[in-house]
A = this chain, B = another copy of it.
Amino acid sequence: MNLPTLYLIPVTLGDSPIDQVLPPYNTRIISDLQYFIVENKRSARRFLKKCNPEIDINALTFYELNKHTLKEEISTFLTPLHSGQSIGVISEAGCPAIADPGADVVALAQNEGYKVVPLVGPSSILMSLMASGFNGQSFAFQGYLPIDGTERVKKLKQLENKVYQEDQTQIFIETPYRNDSLAEDILTHCKGQTKLCIAMNISCENEYIVTKRIKAWKQNLPKMHKQPCVFLLYKG
């Protein structure tokens, strides 16, 4: 008998086709599962249907895990494991437990000694790093930068220092409607020789991943408003 397992199931980024970014194995795993912990029920259902149109969505059980979920509720999501049933974790975009609430439920499963199996899929963080040409032997993902202007500039300068002092690629993101303002801050406050990679709409039709020195980006920024972006800094 197979051990009850928590499968971490990546989804497409944007509307790229399933077979462009997900291995066929993932659909086989998905098709055998009855229980799912998802960030958003509607988009999870749509994703499952896209993977396998034969799936009977109404026969499945969904637990919703997002910023509104209470801590105490999360532990009950693992009940199927206790009775020998496997569970799939699906986030809104990309890989679950990376920059989303999925990590809490994984920590719980690890704590209870259950088997956790990550499946392969698109990660905008990793793919942007691959294509940036920056140091892939040492890198840090910093999540979102502070919203407050002064704090944000301080953080940016801190990250630029790490680039030079620790030879470490710095990766961060922003809420898509604030991309332009973050980019302006980078151009204003980082050194002209420092390199910035802008990685936008990764794995989608209009994918754009371009690395330039900060001084070359000035007056030259692409339109980023409301587009999912990853920003990477490295020494020039």
Contact = CB atoms under 8 A, between A and B. Distances in A.
Given A25-B20, A211-B110, A103 B141 contact: no
A118 interface: yes
A117 interface: yes
A112 to B, nearest CB: 11
Contacts of A111: 133, 211
Contacts of A142: 138
Nearest to A13: B120
Contacts of A17: 25
A54 interface: no
Which among A111, A117, A137 has the greatest number of chain B C-beta atoms within 10 A?
A: A137
Interface of A: 8, 17, 19-25, 95-100, 102-104, 106-111, 116-118, 120-123, 125-143, 168, 197, 202-203, 207, 209-212
Given A125-B126, A137-B143, 9 more contacts: A17-B25, A20-B25, A21-B23, A95-B130, A97-B131, A98-B129, A120-B127, A123-B123, A138-B141
Contacts of A123: 123, 126
Contacts of A141: 137-140
Contacts of A21: 23, 25, 120
A106 B130 CA distance: 8
Contacts of A107: 133-134, 211
Closest 5 CB pairs of A and B: A107-B133, A140-B140, A106-B133, A98-B136, A110-B211
B25 A24 contact: no
Given A127-B118, A138-B141, A141-B138, A19 B8 contact: no
Contacts of A125: 126
A121 B25 CA distance: 13
B136 A99 contact: yes
A183 B22 CA distance: 33
8 contacts: A8-B131, A19-B25, A96-B130, A108-B133, A110-B133, A137-B143, A139-B141, A140-B141
